[in-house]
Structure 1
Amino acid sequence: MTAIEKLEARVDRLETRTAIEELATNYAVACDEHDISKLQNLFTEDAVFKSPSSFLHSTGREAITTMFIEVLKTRGPGYHWTHDLIVEFDDDPDTARGTVYSHAETTPAGVVSIAAMKYKDKYRRESGVWYFSERELHFFYYVPINEYVDTLNQEDRLTVGGDKRPADFPESSPSWKDFDKTYK
């Protein structure tokens, strides 16, 4: 690889990182504004959206769109915030992986709730545009706001339709388990 080719590859990675940051932000904006057209256009045709808790799961852009329409029907105002983004580049310059940490204040079925999430993403560039090819949503917590203080140190921190479920992370992560085994 020549010096110019190396420079072009470095510039492409910088531009890719910015495009992926904007992709994650546009997802939050689309969810908050109930902008189905914008939301739909963030995913590849064959994209997968899933969560370990099976709270959400769909394959294909159309199915993901339908899933979000159903979810957003039950929601009033919501405010999604993206925080930390880690992008890992693949050998293929048109694919990447990433992790996005975020939180949301939402109103499912009129119940003011708060959530902290981690998205494990796969991205693909098609015709020069970056899309989600896979988005896996992990909840640290998702609880009614009035239960937040009492719930944060409990295992069942995921409230779905009134049912309490174990949170998706961090207790399930290999490093958490190794730490507990080694140091507790």
Structure 2
Amino acid sequence: MKQYNEMQVNVCNICEATIWEKNVTDIETRLDRLESRAEILALISHYCKACDDRDVPLLRSLFRQDSWVRSADGRMKGEGLEGIMQMYRKRFEVLGLSVHWTHDTVVTFDPADPDRATGEVFCHAEAVRNQQVLVGSLRYEDEYRRRDGKWYFASRLLKFLYYVPVQSYAEALASPLRQRGYETPLPGDYPESLPSWTGWVQHYQPEDQQA
């Protein structure tokens, strides 16, 4: 009987230890994600500052050799660290003042990899390009990686809702051709391309009529 009781105690101790270890692991994971989210938000802010201040060393520090930056319209394309920096050099050469604001940011951590996350960053921008004042609204679709304890941009894909001369803003916003920063106007990258934008009405139809 005594041996049986001792076995029960040992089993209980093992169970309690397992629960304690799980709780510690859960707390550590939650804390890591909170700290990582703050670091990723700082990374995004540093990007805006680097672009607006023309802070080339700061901009370089945000990427790695395997990073890339592209725009959905194909006009921006930087592959690898040096390719990214040369792309921004060409942009800085034609840009005057610029202001980038980031608003809402959705960060999603990879449950299978604590050193990887993705993000969607909502942004507005004002810029002078080739002496023309432009305003824009865009989203960045990001992938973030952590290496040596530091988060960086693995990739950034820019998608424009609009990018237009300031005097054309009111008219352009009602047009599908909302990318007008260059000679040939192009359609906005979104929201028309989003399934939710084109299919929202089905959620308000009777169930037997839903797609």
What range describes the TM-score normalised by the shorter chain of this pair?
Answer: over 0.9
Superposition CA RMSD, Å: 1.4
Is the Cα–Cα contact under 8 Å of residues 164 and 179 in structure 2 kept in the other structure?
Answer: yes
Gaps in structure 1 of 5+ consecutive residues: none
Number of the residue aligned with 1:98? 119
Gaps in structure 2 of 5+ consecutive residues: 1-20, 205-211
Deviation at 1:136, TM superposition (A): 0.4
Q: Percent identity?
A: 38
The reply on whether 1:53 has 2:73 as its aligned counterpart is yes
Matched residue count = 183
Higher mean Cα deviation, 155-164 or 141-150?
155-164
TM-score, normalised relative to structure 2 = 0.83
Cα distance in structure 1, aligned partners of 2:183 and 2:139: 22
Q: 1:20-99 counterparts in 2 under 5 A?
A: 20-90=40-110, 91-99=112-120
Is the Cα–Cα contact under 8 Å of residues 114 and 145 in structure 1 kept in the other structure?
Answer: yes
Q: 1:1-184 counterparts in 2 under 5 A?
A: 2-90=22-110, 91-179=112-200
Question: Which structure would you say has the larger RCO, counting Cα contacts within 8 Å and 6 or more residues apart?
Answer: 1
Is the Cα–Cα contact under 8 Å of residues 134 and 181 in structure 2 kept in the other structure?
Answer: no
* Bigger proportion of residues as helix: 2
Name which one, 1 or 2, has greater alpha-carbon Rg. 2
Cα distance in structure 2, aligned partners of 1:114 and 1:132: 25
1:93 is paired with a residue whose SS is coil
Cα deviations across residues 77-118 of structure 1 (Å, max 9, x unaligned)? 100001111000102000000000000010011111100010
Cα distance in structure 2, aligned partners of 1:181 and 1:170: 17
Deviation at 1:66, TM superposition (A): 0.3
Cα deviations across residues 19-48 of structure 1 (Å, max 9, x unaligned)? 010111100000000111111111121111
